[in-house]
Structure 1
């Protein structure tokens, strides 16, 4: 019985985060394609203040696609063993829990030239509360 109550409270918490979530379009009007300069997506990421429940929307045209990968593969621009592959646009990545998220093009040359994205989802703080007086 306690497990069911804890699970129910967890689900309610996740749903409340989703209701208050924001969707960020990666690259704004440029979209997800070969970077115009090497730090383009890195620069864009500094404008996104992500919190749990937020979403990243990647807009691209085939043959582009998107891989969600680990930290090592991000820095090595390695496409081996992605945790998730998105083949259709728009691709929505849900940032459900705090932590680091890494994305790249499956085209390793594009990745080396800057088509990769690292974002950090910050843990909620008391300052994030809507119950401020």
Structure 2
């Protein structure tokens, strides 16, 4: 009888874990900058601090909100371009977001900045696991 009870507990545990697996693996949605959104940072390294406690994964969604002509949103491929705020070889630059949403589909480090205010710290790098 104890053997049957043990099997029931094991099977029930496996079934419960299996049923919750899709919700544990669901993508997360982020607004770049949280409540500040995509704007000139209120303190140095604001966006670095914003990413500090977060874990980013493939297929998470990122919402970028800013007022037209006040900011831009650019992605560059290299850390050097990011560090020097060089958008010459940017993958894209958006100046009218209209509710921009991006999904990062590959593991790696992604670099984003505002071409107008990058030197003031308006930039963020995201490591996607």
What is the TM-score with the length of structure 1 in the denominator? 0.71
1:60-116 CA-to-partner distances (Å, cap 9, x unmatched) read: 012112001122110011121111222313221211010000000011xx1111100
Q: Could you tell me how far apart the structure 2 residues matched to 1:97 and 1:74 are?
A: 19
Partner of 1:73: 81
What is the TM-score with the length of structure 2 in the denominator? 0.73
Partner of 1:118: 125
RMSD: 1.6
Q: Could you tell me how far apart the structure 2 residues matched to 1:50 and 1:98 are?
A: 9
1:100 aligns with 2:109: yes
1:25 aligns with 2:34: no
Aligned residues: 103
Is the contact between residue 67 and residue 83 of structure 1 (CA under 8 Å) also seen in structure 2?
yes
Is the contact between residue 98 and residue 121 of structure 1 (CA under 8 Å) also seen in structure 2?
yes
Partner of 2:94: 86
Is the contact between residue 55 and residue 94 of structure 1 (CA under 8 Å) also seen in structure 2?
yes
Flag the structure with larger Rg.
Answer: 2
Q: Could you tell me how far apart the structure 2 residues matched to 1:91 and 1:102 are?
A: 16
Instruction: Note the C-alpha offset of 1:25.
Output: 0.7
- Structure 1: stretches of 5+ with no match in the other structure: 1-15, 123-133
Partner of 1:49: 55
- Structure 2: stretches of 5+ with no match in the other structure: 1-21
* Secondary structure of the corresponding residue to residue 118 of structure 1: strand
Is the contact between residue 24 and residue 48 of structure 1 (CA under 8 Å) also seen in structure 2?
no
Runs of 4+ in 1 over 6 A off after TM superposition: none
